[in-house]
């Protein structure tokens, strides 16, 4: 690959997406130098990665991979404590940090004395994330982290990552071939084409609203408007005044995703649905026209 | 004390217990010598294999010549090798050990290299990605995970060596081979039965000891998927 220039905004999650052969994993692995770039410059927080001792660089970057890569011969506690131990933290500090992380990723502390093979796929993936965050690195690299778990667990792990990111604000680079995963998780999407060509970079909603070319449009797939509605919430569009006789039994909330609100409208054979605020008071009415108008503005 | 295990007990019985009683010191000496020859062979063989395996793992192109040479050594019949060595090293422990050590190399090197190669790529990648330095990763991750395969190699090498040590009795070394040689020369079955029987017992005991060692060193492999 050649001539790829990317900025990963601090504290946000950027997804590298593209077909196989687009170099998304290569790009990721060049950041922690698992693949050495032959030319070009990669900087992490203003420091050139090629100028740093490779083990020091890597200890400062969290790394999560698809098959978890947990150490089968170490307990969950020892797995999570890997980088702190490499950094020479004393035992008590490592133990305290391990306990914090187990809590952060929502694992049962009982599991700390188990071995990875005794855990489910979802639990193993959570351990992988806890291990990557152990030394509190500012950067987290995630290589297809959820492609080996079943869809239900995957959806839950994705929700957990969103919640986790709200608390830790890491600069996350996530590689995925699943555009819907990228739309759901990312603040920014870098869509790559074969050969490492950057086709489009921007927030998911921007790509969905205005794909720059056919490649981007095709990769995003059909139902781009619906996918974009999944990113917006009812409060993001202007509501219509309430009409008498509206059925409030089907009411949606202000924080309901727009896509889900549309589903409610269609499913109840109506043209509108009542919207209630946090206190359960009717705040307005959402119509299909309102949704379309709101989408056009954004 | 006389035990009549196979009918009337005497010099012509399958095993003459009086002889066993009278020669208990000789049998004990043979046991210690057999054990000594075995442990030296497996011990030195393991150290040499460890060094050669590290070379083969570090410089991959070295693996096939190493495998070829040790494979060739393995195909030489043991007695022929001992006879070939006698003009150079005489009827000594050295002659026996050169042969015995040679036979352990193929099995041990293959198991060490394949054990390390068998460590999942994802585990190695994760270790690298978290900032293990190469030597530390090799010791703390690769070797630890290769332990079951390496011990499997040690078990085969040990049991094979115990069998081969009996052959060194024919070039005048002690051990159970000495007892068997004595019995063959005099067409007297008791020492043959004692020597052969005890070498089987030794093989079983050392094999069990290695199984126990493996269980101690690999606590993670005893517990399996629960959920």
| pLDDT, tens digit, 9 for 90 and up, residues B45-103 | 999 999 999 999 999 999 999 999 999 998 888 888 888 888 888 888 888 899 999 99
**pLDDT, greater one: B9 or B224:** B9
The first and second tokens of residue A67, run together, are 């098959």
Q: How many residues does chain B have?
A: 227
Residue among B133, B214, B146, B220 nearest A79 (CA): B220
- State which of A45-54, A235-244, A274-283, B41-50 shows the largest mean pLDDT: B41-50
CA A178/CA A220 separation, integer angstroms: 10
Q: What percent of chain B shows pLDDT beyond 70?
A: 94
pLDDT at B227: 38
How do strand A171-176 and strand A252-253 relate by DSSP bridges?
unpaired
Mean pLDDT across B169-190: 84
CA B190/CA B187 separation, integer angstroms: 9
Asked whether the predicted pLDDT for residue B145 surpasses 90, the reply is yes
Asked whether the predicted pLDDT for residue A279 surpasses 80, the reply is yes
**pLDDT, greater one: A198 or B169:** A198
Asked whether the predicted pLDDT for residue A152 surpasses 60, the reply is yes
Provide the shortest C-alpha distance from residue A33 to chain B (in Å).
8
* Residue A183 pLDDT class (50, 70, 90 cuts): very high
* DSSP bridge pairs for A173: A14, A141
Q: Do A67 and B226 lie within an 8 Å CB cutoff?
A: no
pLDDT at B3: 52
Residue among A202, A218, A252, A232 nearest A296 (CA): A232
CA A183/CA A202 separation, integer angstroms: 11
* Residue B224 pLDDT class (50, 70, 90 cuts): low
Q: Which residues of B touch A127 (CB under 8 A)?
A: none
Q: Do A59 and B130 lie within an 8 Å CB cutoff?
A: yes
pLDDT at B210: 96
Q: Which residues of B touch A63 (CB under 8 A)?
A: 126, 129-130
Instruction: Scan for tokens 């946000």, then name that residue.
Output: A12
pLDDT at B113: 96
pLDDT at B8: 60
Q: Do B125 and A86 lie within an 8 Å CB cutoff?
A: no
Provide the shortest C-alpha distance from residue A3 to chain B (in Å).
25
CA A213/CA A200 separation, integer angstroms: 9
Instruction: Scan for tokens 């590689």, then name that residue.
Output: A175
Mean pLDDT across B29-38: 92
pLDDT at A92: 93
Provide the shortest C-alpha distance from residue B206 to chain A (in Å).
25
Provide the shortest C-alpha distance from residue B107 to chain A (in Å).
24
Handedness of CA A285, A289, A294, A295 (dihedral sign): positive
Question: A102 near A80, Cβ under 8 Å?
Answer: yes
Locate the chain A residue with the closest alpha carbon to B131: A55
- The verdict on B22 touching A (C-beta cutoff 8 Å) is no
pLDDT at B150: 96
Asked whether the predicted pLDDT for residue B222 surpasses 90, the reply is no
Mean pLDDT across B10-35: 85
Helix (H, G, I), strand (E, B) or coil at B213: helix
How do strand A13-17 and strand A43-44 relate by DSSP bridges?
unpaired
A28-39 confidence digits (pLDDT tens): 999 889 998 888
Q: Which of B129, B133, B223 would best serve as a mutation to test chain A binding (most A beta carbons within 10 A)?
A: B129
A5-24 confidence digits (pLDDT tens): 888 888 899 999 999 888 88
- The verdict on B223 touching A (C-beta cutoff 8 Å) is yes
A70-95 confidence digits (pLDDT tens): 999 999 999 999 999 999 999 999 99
Q: Do B224 and A114 lie within an 8 Å CB cutoff?
A: no
pLDDT at A74: 95
Which pTM does this prediction carry?
Answer: 0.82
Asked whether the predicted pLDDT for residue A247 surpasses 80, the reply is no
CA A206/CA A265 separation, integer angstroms: 26
Asked whether the predicted pLDDT for residue B219 surpasses 80, the reply is yes
């Amino acid at each position: 690959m050649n001539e790829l220039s990317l900025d990963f905004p601090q504290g946000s999650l950027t997804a590298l997406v593209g077909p196989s052969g687009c170099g998304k994993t290569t790009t990721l692995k060049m950041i922690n130098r698992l693949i050495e770039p032959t030319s070009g410059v990669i900087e992490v927080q203003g420091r050139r990665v090629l100028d740093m001792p490779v083990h020091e660089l890597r200890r400062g970057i969290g790394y999560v991979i698809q098959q978890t890569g947990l150490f089968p011969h170490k307990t969950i506690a020892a797995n999570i404590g890997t980088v702190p131990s490499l950094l020479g933290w004393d035992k008590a500090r490592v133990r305290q940090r391990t306990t914090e992380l187990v809590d952060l990723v929502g694992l049962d502390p009982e599991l700390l004395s188990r071995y990875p093979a005794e855990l489910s796929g979802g639990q193993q993936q959570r351990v992988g994330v806890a291990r990557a965050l152990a030394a509190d690195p500012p950067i987290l690299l995630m290589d297809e982290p959820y492609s080996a778990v079943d869809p239900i667990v995957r959806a839950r792990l994705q929700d957990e990552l969103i919640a986790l990111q709200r608390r830790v604000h890491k600069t996350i680079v996530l590689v995925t071939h699943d555009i819907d995963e990228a739309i759901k998780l990312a603040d920014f999407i870098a869509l790559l084409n074969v050969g490492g060509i950057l086709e489009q970079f921007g927030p998911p909603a921007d790509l969905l609203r205005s794909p720059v070319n056919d490649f981007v449009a095709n990769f995003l797939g059909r139902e781009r408007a619906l996918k974009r509605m999944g990113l917006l919430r009812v409060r993001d569009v202007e509501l219509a005044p309430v009409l008498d006789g509206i059925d409030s039994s089907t009411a949606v909330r202000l924080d309901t995703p727009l896509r889900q609100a549309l589903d409610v409208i269609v499913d109840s054979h109506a043209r509108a649905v009542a919207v209630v605020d946090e206190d359960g008071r009717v705040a307005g009415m959402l119509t299909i026209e309102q949704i379309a108008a709101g989408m056009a503005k954004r | 004390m006389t035990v009549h295990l196979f009918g009337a007990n005497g010099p012509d019985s399958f095993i003459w217990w009086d002889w066993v009683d009278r020669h208990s010191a000789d049998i004990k000496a043979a046991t210690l010598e057999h054990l000594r020859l075995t442990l030296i062979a497996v011990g030195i063989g393991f150290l040499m294999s460890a060094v050669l395996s590290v070379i083969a793992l570090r410089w991959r192109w070295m693996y096939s010549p190493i495998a070829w040479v040790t494979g060739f050594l393995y195909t030489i019949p043991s007695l022929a090798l001992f006879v070939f060595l006698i003009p150079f090293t005489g009827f000594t422990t050295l002659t026996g050990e050169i042969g015995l050590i040679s036979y352990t190399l193929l099995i041990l090197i293959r198991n060490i290299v394949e054990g390390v190669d068998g460590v999942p790529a994802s585990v190695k990648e994760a270790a690298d990605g978290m900032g293990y330095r190469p030597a530390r990763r090799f010791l703390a991750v690769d070797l630890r995970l290769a332990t079951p395969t390496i011990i499997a190699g040690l078990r085969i090498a040990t049991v094979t060596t115990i069998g081969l040590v009996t052959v060194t009795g024919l070039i005048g070394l002690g051990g159970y081979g000495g007892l068997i040689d004595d019995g063959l020369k005099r067409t007297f079955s008791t020492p043959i039965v004692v020597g052969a029987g005890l070498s089987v017992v030794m093989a079983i005991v050392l094999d069990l000891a290695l199984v126990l060692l493996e269980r101690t060193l690999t606590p993670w492999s005893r517990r399996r998927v629960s959920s």
